[in-house]
Amino acid sequence: MMDQEFLKFFNKYGLIELVHPSSEGKSSIRIRRSILLGGVLIKVAINYRVIAYNNLIEDKELQFLCNSLSNTIKDKVILNFPKTESFLNVKVGNGFTSEEYNSSSFILDIFNLYIYKVFELNDFKQVLNDICELFPDTVNLVNVKDSKTKLQEFLQAKKISLPNYLTDNGKQVTPTTYSYTTHLEIKEYSIDVTGFGLSKRLSQLDAAQKAYEILSKFSKQSHNTFKLSNSFFDLSGNYKSLKGKKLNNYLNDYFGLHKDYNILPAFISLRMKKNGLVSHRRFAMLGSIVLKLFRTIALYASNDYDNDESTRLEVIGSNDFFIKQIKESDFIILSDFPFYKIGGEYINEAYNMDCIQSLFALSFINEMKNDNEIKLNNINKCNKAFKWYAELLDNPTLELEQSNHYIMNNLVKRLQSLGFIIKIRKNEKIFYFSIESVFDKSVSYILDLKLNILEYNREIATRNLVGFVTKTLNRLDGSNMTLPKSNKYLNEICELSSFIIINANRNFNPSEETMKFVQEKNNHIGDLEINDIFEFFSEVPNNLEKFIYIFNILNKCNLIDKDISCLDFIGLNHHNIDFTTKSEEVNSKDELSIKEALNFIAVDEGNAFEETIDLPSKDVIDLTNETQYRIPEFKTEKTEISKEIITDSKLNVDVIPELNLKPSQTRSLESTALLPKELPLAERIKYFNNLNEDELLEIWERREEVLDFAEDAAIVLSLIRFNEGIDREIRKITEIIDFENITCLDLPSLKALSTKSAEKSFEIKENDTRIRKKALLVVRPNQANFRAELISLWKKCPITGCNILEILDAAHIYPYRGEKDNEITNGILLRTDIHKLFDKYLLSIHPKNFTIHISKYITDPQYTQYEGKKCNDFKRLSNDALSYHWMYFLNPNF
């Protein structure tokens, strides 16, 4: 039979249509956020109800009380909620098993979803009060400490020496699972127990729990039982024994409290507590969860595809960041707190944080007592303080990236995906990282960079350690192959990389064909010199072969242990690898399509810049004479070529007359060739640069028919590679022309033709044929807007002051990985030579104070003069991108 209070609650709010994230047709992210929000709302109700319990409860027991209430409500939900129509009609995805449907976690998730829907549809205050009615009149405290801690405290109280946990080395039960056994003996109580678990820690906890349960029978301690008061106590009356009142009508107005409201309860520390008084601890707990409610509401309202929003809001919720924002705002002045002048603990940030959270709690309690109706989506707009926090959450320009909490969060997530947890620790001498396996705590690695606590504070030490691990991970997944500039930390890099490769969580079962391919390719690459490997690495797509090159780079540079095999390394990255080999992609070169050709060629990780190309003057070439230079209008079935040449700034570019060539035509006669053989290289570049993507692809498909020179093929392929996102910039002809896809065409070189022309005898002519050069900036097809926007925004290079557009580059701060990185805040206009230094991490911008810094490896005065130069315009740049670049600049030896 259903619990009467629950029956009353469900009868009141009735049937609600619920959809589990596994069901199709709905946003699973939105549903998961609804479940999360429902869980937070229940926690708000728990902490709100704790205020009404016997106020003589010790502050140290408050958390136990909250946990006890939480466990009580969970037990009731699991017992009663499955009987409701809302649960019985919940929509789940195909293949959802009965075991999953009846699991406690599923029931609790659906209940949280139900609670969210109830709050969304009804008056917030009424629902909150109704949930509070579900809690019992009395509650027994639950000690939520782990069994080893409880056993230790019990034995210490009895002055009995602590026992030893004797754990074996584990027994393999599946290919990836081990079972551990722990023996525990307490002679004073004749206790001899054995614990079991899938890790050493779990087996020790199991043994400790068994011993503690036996010891509990010897204990005559009674359960701590607390009775629920009928109503909230009088906040004013409980503080009469304390002299004076704390009146601050400014704060009262800001937090929505009535005039002359006594806010003294928000400032009573644990040490000030007297009989009949309640410290601010319980208010701080309520205020903390109310602020979390506001953050969760903001998360729910955010974009479904914004995966970083949760981390961003978590940073804002951290105490250090919150206090920083409080200090920078004017609405709370800490020196106005009633006991601030006493000093000591009253100026401590932890105490001040409790006070501020308590003010939010008092404000929340006050809003719950008002008569006006409040909806869930408006709860964060009830008063000025609530609105201030909501605006803080909605501010995307906050410099969160400067918080160690943020950068640690990103690193933690990357390591968790590999099956590791990471913690920063310190001893009496150094700060260091401890990296442990999630599945076996005995598998761990200590990263010690000799960061002496006398030289480094915690923040700087964390940044150094995070930078080291991040760069190591970037090399392991190939996202940034920048090598350390010295051997100072070579051993540490090798040890950490090897530890991650060997112990990462993976389920990699390569086929025989894959193993054979890896072995053959690895043997071939292993015989190459390191410079050749780097060169060929830049010509390999993001597939299996690329990671074989990465393995050999790391191996030859001594960045991984020599005992690690190529298959071990492939296993680490197998989730990111396309295991289609070349032989599977194409059967013969004759059938090679443009898409297949692109799969043979690498992403260019080097420095690629927009280059200037000298074009012959119109005075030399009579472009109006179609019999001399005939340029075709190349058409496809889908698109028509534009007659406009992409121009930049004030550069003059001449339009070339066109010649029709139908796709069905073949190059059987010289007169039907795509371009006249005599056309100079610069004009050929200009022509191909004017074609759109479909037209270029059509040319490549018919390359054997319509192309005359290897340079033509190189130009077309370089533009296609850029359009496809393979290359960050349009690559030079000299970098492309020797690719197998071009050499197999056996096309002559335009240079050879030029050489023959140069061998002609000199003939004196009176007409002026001097070449007057003008520059054409080779811009990115379909991406000219990025550079145009940067020119419009910056006007000049902010570092050198140079405003000559022809030598200014559109530089990416975070390396270009596709169209997503063409955000204006990820770009800066730099002079070409500065751009090269910037891309090599030899020059960087401090992400906090926006000063320019030059690497110690650069000693030329023409560059060192910019050291320390500050530019406030850098504030418009993405702090995330600047932090990434700064990390690589700051520690070149990592």
Domain 245-398 has CATH 1.10.3470: no
**Cα 860 from Cα 837, distance rounded (Å):** 12
Task: Say yes or no to pLDDT of 183 above 50.
Answer: yes
Amino acid (one-letter) located at 66: C
pLDDT band at 92 (very low <50, low <70, confident <90, very high): confident
Task: Say yes or no to pLDDT of 496 above 90.
Answer: yes
Q: Which of 358-362, 555-559, 818-822 has the lowest mean pLDDT?
A: 818-822
Q: How large is the average pLDDT for residues 696-725?
A: 84
pLDDT band at 607 (very low <50, low <70, confident <90, very high): very low
- DSSP string for residues in 575-633: GG-B---HHHH-S-GGG--HHHHHHTS--B-S-----EEEE--TTTS-TT-TTTS---E
Instruction: Give the rounded percent of residues in the chain with a pLDDT score beyond 90.
Output: 13
The structure tokens listed for 836 are: 């090269």
Nearest of 591, 596, 568, 592 to residue 580 by alpha carbon = 596
Q: Is 258 helix (H, G, I), strand (E, B) or coil?
A: coil
pLDDT band at 881 (very low <50, low <70, confident <90, very high): confident
pLDDT band at 472 (very low <50, low <70, confident <90, very high): very high
pLDDT band at 218 (very low <50, low <70, confident <90, very high): low
Q: How large is the average pLDDT for residues 343-349?
A: 72
> 595 and 758 in contact (C-beta within 8 Å)?
no
Contacts of 829 (CB under 8 A, 6+ apart): 790, 791, 793, 794, 795, 796, 797, 798, 808, 809, 810, 811
How big is the CA angle at 422 (ends 416 and 426), to the nearest 5 degrees? 175
Task: Say yes or no to pLDDT of 111 above 80.
Answer: yes
pLDDT band at 728 (very low <50, low <70, confident <90, very high): low
pTM: 0.48
Amino acid (one-letter) located at 10: F
pLDDT value at residue 799:
93
Nearest of 124, 47, 470 to residue 288 by alpha carbon = 47
Q: How large is the average pLDDT for residues 666-674?
A: 44
Q: Tally Cβ neighbours within 10 Å of residue 230.
A: 7
pLDDT band at 312 (very low <50, low <70, confident <90, very high): low
User: Averaging pLDDT over each range in 331-345, 747-761, 839-853, which range is the top one?
Assistant: 839-853
Task: Say yes or no to pLDDT of 416 above 80.
Answer: yes
Show me where the domains of the chain are located.
4-140, 147-222, 245-398, 402-503, 512-581, 590-775, 783-890
How does the average pLDDT of the chain come out, rounded? 75
pLDDT value at residue 601:
31
Pairing of the two strands 660-661 and 633-634: parallel
pLDDT band at 828 (very low <50, low <70, confident <90, very high): very high
Q: How large is the average pLDDT for residues 257-286?
A: 76
pLDDT value at residue 263:
81
**Cα 240 from Cα 104, distance rounded (Å):** 47
Nearest of 610, 614, 548, 607 to residue 579 by alpha carbon = 548
The structure tokens listed for 225 are: 């039982």
> 272 and 371 in contact (C-beta within 8 Å)?
no
pLDDT band at 754 (very low <50, low <70, confident <90, very high): low
pLDDT band at 341 (very low <50, low <70, confident <90, very high): low
**Cα 213 from Cα 219, distance rounded (Å):** 10
Residue 558 φ/ψ region, left for φ over 0, alpha for ψ in the -120 to 50 degree band, beta for the rest: left
Task: Say yes or no to pLDDT of 450 above 80.
Answer: yes
Task: Say yes or no to pLDDT of 383 above 80.
Answer: yes
> 691 and 682 in contact (C-beta within 8 Å)?
no
pLDDT value at residue 209:
85
pLDDT value at residue 44:
93
> 10 and 77 in contact (C-beta within 8 Å)?
no
Q: Which of 115-129, 357-371, 411-425, 536-550 has the lowest mean pLDDT?
A: 536-550
pLDDT value at residue 650:
32
Nearest of 839, 719, 825 to residue 780 by alpha carbon = 719
User: Averaging pLDDT over each range in 96-100, 173-177, 427-431, 520-524, which range is the top one?
Assistant: 520-524
Q: 147-222 has which CATH code? A: 3.30.160.20
Helix extents (H) in 244-398:
249-254, 281-301, 309-317, 319-328, 349-369, 384-393
pLDDT value at residue 658:
35
Residue 809 φ/ψ region, left for φ over 0, alpha for ψ in the -120 to 50 degree band, beta for the rest: beta
pLDDT value at residue 172:
64
Instruction: Give the rounded percent of residues in the chain with a pLDDT score beyond 70.
Output: 72
pLDDT band at 443 (very low <50, low <70, confident <90, very high): confident
Burial-class residue 101 by CB neighbours within 10 Å (0-12, 13-18, 19+): middle
Query: Measuring CA to CA, how many Å separate 869 from each of 630, 831, 865?
Result: 53, 16, 8
Element (H, E) at 561: none
pLDDT value at residue 320:
66
- pLDDT per residue over 23-53, tens digit each? 755 567 788 889 999 999 999 999 888 876 6
Instruction: Supply the angle between the helices 458-477 and 879-890 in degrees, to the nearest 10.
Output: 90
pLDDT band at 584 (very low <50, low <70, confident <90, very high): very low
pLDDT band at 482 (very low <50, low <70, confident <90, very high): confident
**Cα 115 from Cα 481, distance rounded (Å):** 49
> 818 and 725 in contact (C-beta within 8 Å)?
yes
**Cα 207 from Cα 185, distance rounded (Å):** 9
Bigger pLDDT: 771 vs 391: 391
Asked, colleague to colleague, whether 4-140 and 245-398 share their fold, the answer is: yes
pLDDT value at residue 225:
57
pLDDT band at 113 (very low <50, low <70, confident <90, very high): very high
Bigger pLDDT: 339 vs 178: 339
Task: Say yes or no to pLDDT of 769 above 60.
Answer: no
Q: Which of 223-227, 278-282, 628-632 has the lowest mean pLDDT?
A: 628-632
The structure tokens listed for 199 are: 């890790």
> 877 and 852 in contact (C-beta within 8 Å)?
no
Amino acid (one-letter) located at 526: G
> 281 and 59 in contact (C-beta within 8 Å)?
yes
- DSSP string for residues in 809-870: EEEESSPP-SGGG--GGGEEEEEHHHHHHHHTTSEEE-TTT-BEEE-TT---HHHHTTTT-B
- DSSP string for residues in 730-775: PPPHHHHTTSHHHHTTTPPPHHHHHHHHHTSPP----S------EE
Task: Say yes or no to pLDDT of 308 above 60.
Answer: no
β-partners of residue 183 are 166, 194
> 720 and 729 in contact (C-beta within 8 Å)?
no
**Cα 406 from Cα 312, distance rounded (Å):** 7
pLDDT band at 469 (very low <50, low <70, confident <90, very high): very high
Bigger pLDDT: 496 vs 848: 496
Element (H, E) at 435: strand 430-437
**Cα 732 from Cα 749, distance rounded (Å):** 15
pLDDT value at residue 24:
58
Class for the domain spanning 4-140: mainly alpha
Bigger pLDDT: 659 vs 260: 260
Task: Say yes or no to pLDDT of 124 above 80.
Answer: yes
